[in-house]
Structures are given as C-alpha cells and as structure tokens.
C-alpha cells in the first residue's frame, strides 16, 4: 500500500532559532494536493527514559520543578542523548546521575514520539533491574527528589491521572505491557 497520498515534500528549510538545547526551524512543504504550507518545529537530539525497578518491586521515581509548566512534576528518570552517545550509555548515565542507582540488567522496552506536532524528539525507554545504590551526581543547576515507591502504587497514580508527565505515562504503558508478557502482572 502506498502512502504517497499522505506525504509532505520539503521545499525549503530555514533555521529561526538555535539555543543550547533546541533548534527551531520553519520549513515550506508541498502538500499531497500540490498546495504548499509552512511547518515550524523543534529539532531535538533525542532522549532516553529509564524505568528502574528494585528487587522489592519498587520503581525509582523523581520529583522536580519544571519551569515551562511552573510546577513540581512526578516523573521517571530521563535525559537527552549527548552527541555521539548511544541510547544505552545515555540511560546508564542518566540513571546514576539523577538517582544514584546503577543496574546490572537492561531491557529495551520501546520508544515514543511525544510531541509529533512540533518536535522531532524521540524517547527510547529501558527497564533497569538488579539495582544497587552508589551516589547521586546531578548536573549543575539540577535539583531532583528521588522517590522509591511500590510499582502497583505508581500504576494506580497513572490510572488516576495523578502522573501528568507524558514521557512517564508512555514509559509506564510500555513497562506494563512488558510485565504482562513476562507474567509479572495480570
């Protein structure tokens, strides 16, 4: 089956803002009907998110203030991929930097595109197990409260709409599917 009736063809692209973290573009595209339109979007380096579970079936969560929404958000550990860094290396780095935990076992859970209307961001998710604590090593200017909470309680918070972070909700959904296949939950 051909998808040509859906595909937009790029005509021009211009950079309209380049910061330390994001790069904003405005492109002109040809629509499938032959007309043209403008598309503004953010080029994002990609990110990794980690669902870290200890031997007592607790998940490692974080609380941190997020300036764009002006509130403290409850979320899973995550961070952007550095240049020339592979996803697993990023996941290991972010987990230990933000939470102080290292994991012996890593399982790729999947990926998501959280903001497809305006960003190229792609988040890769890993399950981290067989944890041991070392020391937190936060980046300069990063303030995080680490919480160890029973996994079933975290799922319940997600089902009740009390976890608002889309990255975390997507990761919990991938984890839920993985655990069902592994017969760890019903």
- Active-site positions read 140
Distance of CA 19 to the CA centre of its chain: 20
Do residues 101 and 128 make contact, with C-beta atoms less than 8 angstroms apart? yes
Q: Map tokens 């890769």 to a residue.
A: 124
Instruction: Please tell me the distance from the alpha carbon of residue 178 to that of residue 64, in angstroms, as a whole number.
Output: 27
Residue 52: CB atoms within 10 A of its CB come to 24
Using CA atoms, how far apart are residues 171 and 109, in angstroms rounded to an integer? 8
3-state secondary structure of 154: helix
Residue 128 CA to chain centroid, in angstroms?
15
Q: Which two structure tokens, joined as six digits, stand for 104?
A: 């012996």
Reduced to 3 states (helix: H, G, I; strand: E, B; else coil), residue 119 is strand
- Structure tokens of 180? 């069902």
């Amino acid at each position: 089956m051909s998808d040509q009736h859906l595909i937009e063809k790029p005509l021009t692209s211009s950079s309209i803002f380049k910061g330390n973290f994001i790069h904003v573009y405005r492109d002109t595209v040809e629509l499938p009907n032959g007309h043209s339109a403008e598309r503004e979007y953010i080029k994002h380096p990609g990110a990794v998110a980690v669902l870290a579970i200890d031997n007592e079936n607790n998940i490692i969560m974080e609380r941190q203030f997020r300036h764009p929404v002006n509130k403290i958000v409850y979320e899973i550990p995550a961070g952007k991929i550095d240049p020339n860094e592979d996803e697993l290396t990023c996941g290991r780095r972010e987990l230990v930097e933000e939470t102080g935990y290292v994991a012996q076992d890593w399982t790729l859970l999947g990926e998501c595109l959280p903001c497809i209307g305006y960003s190229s961001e792609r988040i890769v998710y890993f399950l981290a197990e067989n944890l041991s604590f070392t020391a937190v090593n936060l980046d300069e200017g990063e303030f995080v409260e680490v919480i160890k909470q029973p996994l079933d309680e975290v799922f319940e918070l997600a089902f009740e709409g009390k976890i608002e972070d889309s990255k975390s909700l997507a990761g919990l959904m991938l984890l839920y599917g993985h655990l069902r296949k592994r017969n760890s939950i019903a």
